[in-house]
Structures are given as C-alpha cells and as structure tokens.
C-alpha cells in the first residue's frame, strides 16, 4: 500500500477534472481526495496498490478532450489507515 501527494498543472479546472479523477480512482480501488487550488492547479492524495496508482496517474496524464495536463508532481505521503473512498476534499 502506497500513498502519494500529487499536484496537477494544466487545463484542469472548469473541465470536469475532479469527476474524471474520481471515476478513474474508483475503477482501480484507489482511495484519497481531489481538490481545486486557488492557483489553478489541482491537489490530490492517492492511496492504493502501486501498480494501480501508476495506471491511475497514466490515465490522468492523458486527460481527455477537455482536460490538458502539462505537469504532474508526485511525492510520497504517509498511508492513512481506514480510508475507504476517493472523494472531493474540503
């Protein structure tokens, strides 16, 4: 089990990025959260099996016809025991 603190830059606000992230995380049984930041970036915490996180980040990086990812920053973070889902952060 791994957990990462992720920042995503690009056209990632106002284009359905958070919903896209939640859908892709749920498909892979990844837990964590996603949140828009005031500087236009998106912050995520992702937790799960490393191969599933790698798949998730690859899918996020590809984006879709609305989402354009220019940069992803990924740093290890302590695992949160008992986390059950991937959702919007407050």
Q: CB of 60 within 8 A of CB of 70? A: no
Q: CB of 68 within 8 A of CB of 20? A: no
Residue appearing with tokens 């912050």: 43
CA-to-CA distance for 30 and 56, rounded, in angstroms? 8
Q: Spot the catalytic one: 3, 18, 24, 90.
A: 18
Q: Annotated catalytic, 36?
A: yes
- For residue 40, what are its two tokens? 């236009």
Q: Spot the catalytic one: 3, 28, 36, 90.
A: 36
Catalytic residues: 18, 36
């Amino acid at each position: 089990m791994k957990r990462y603190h992720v920042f995503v830059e690009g056209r990632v606000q106002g284009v359905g990025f958070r919903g896209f992230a939640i859908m892709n995380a749920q498909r892979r049984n990844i837990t964590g959260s996603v949140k828009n930041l005031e500087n236009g970036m998106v912050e995520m915490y992702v937790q799960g099996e490393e191969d599933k996180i790698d798949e998730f980040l690859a899918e996020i990086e590809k984006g879709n016809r609305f989402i354009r990812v220019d940069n992803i920053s990924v740093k290890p973070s302590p695992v949160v025991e008992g986390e059950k889902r991937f959702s919007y952060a407050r």
